[in-house]
Amino acid sequence: MLLALAESHKVLGAAAFLTEEAEQLHAALERLLRRAGRGFYSGVPERLPLLANPHMHLLEAALAWREVSSAPAWARLAAELTELALDHFIDPATGALLERFAEDWQPVAADAQLVEPGHLFEWSWLLQRCGDARATQAAARLIHVGEQYGVHRGITINALRQDLSVADDEARLWPQTERLKANARLAVSEPRSWPAAVEAAAALLRYLLSAPPGLWHDRLTAKDQFVEEPAPASSFYHIVAAISELGAAVASLQGGARRG
């Protein structure tokens, strides 16, 4: 909801009701889910394990509000979540981002842990937007880990174990979009990321072109067969965001070529 309000702010302008609604949601978040230590619980009453994923979505919303509002609360929230990710979510041994944590932010046991390549790329995309040197370095490493271990036969697979061995070699649609977003954004400053962005775009097209017009497949099996099932509406957000990010990267490239 916070992200939707920020994006609406971009389209509708600085409408007071959007800002007021966002501030009320932020206050509720602080009141209901703020931990005594760093970060937030993921629900009420479900509190453990602590999860990286909700913090990722909250960081996206905070960054979106930081772009449209000068209110210091959004910049503080974005900085807090970035530091939490850098200090606790990313495994210093492998450079991969872990998903589940105990109350003290220590990772849960390896047999209860997952590494999701789609989230490696999604976190990289967010950390690239933070404007912090440490975050930028971590973002590049997340892409490297994702490309090395999470991409098979040109497709981003669902899950790895903590040691980066394959846990689930099926492939949903959304990880393809996150790989595209992360590599397209990095390619603006690091052209060597373009081949991965192009491959991710080609992978995404497979999910779209193999389905009826206006729909998409969501799951590709390890045998490269799409599962026939209803198309989840949640994929639309990922698809639009990937197209937008790729378009911005191409526009930046073309602008640089014209200036040259």
147 band by pLDDT with thresholds 50, 70 and 90 = very high
Token pair, residue 185, equals: 């954004």
Q: Which pLDDT belongs to residue 192?
A: 95
CATH, range 90-254 = 1.50.10.10
List, for residues 39-85, the tens digit of each pLDDT value.
Answer: 999 988 878 999 999 999 999 999 999 999 999 999 999 999 999 99
Q: Cα dist. 176→142, 146, 203 in Å?
A: 15, 11, 7
Token pair, residue 154, equals: 């040109």
